[in-house]
């Protein structure tokens, strides 16, 4: 849980917005027995990671396959 809180904080700082909100994700995950956490990983995590990679200058996975 501490690792997730740190990573979510770093992602929020890098993106410059309140997303991902670790408190919301952890709270709703506890209430829904982890289902919200899985839903969030499937629907929201991918686009956030892709946006961070684009900001860092990494080419998309579809074009080259890796960021080196």
Note the pTM of the prediction, 2 decimals.
0.72
pLDDT, position 29: 93
From the first residue on, what is the mean pLDDT of each consecutive set of 10 residues in the chain (68 residues)? 90 90 91 92 90 83 59
Q: Phi/psi zone of residue 65: left (φ > 0), alpha (ψ -120 to 50 degrees), beta?
A: left
Helical packing angle, 46-56 and 2-15, nearest 10° = 50
> 50, 60 in Cβ contact below 8 A?
yes
């Amino acid at each position: 849980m501490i690792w997730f809180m740190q990573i979510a904080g770093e992602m929020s700082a890098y993106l410059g917005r309140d997303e991902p909100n670790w408190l919301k994700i952890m709270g709703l995950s506890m209430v829904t027995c982890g289902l919200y956490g899985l839903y969030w990983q499937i629907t929201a995590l991918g686009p956030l990671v892709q946006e961070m990679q684009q900001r860092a200058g990494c080419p998309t996975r579809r074009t080259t396959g890796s960021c080196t």
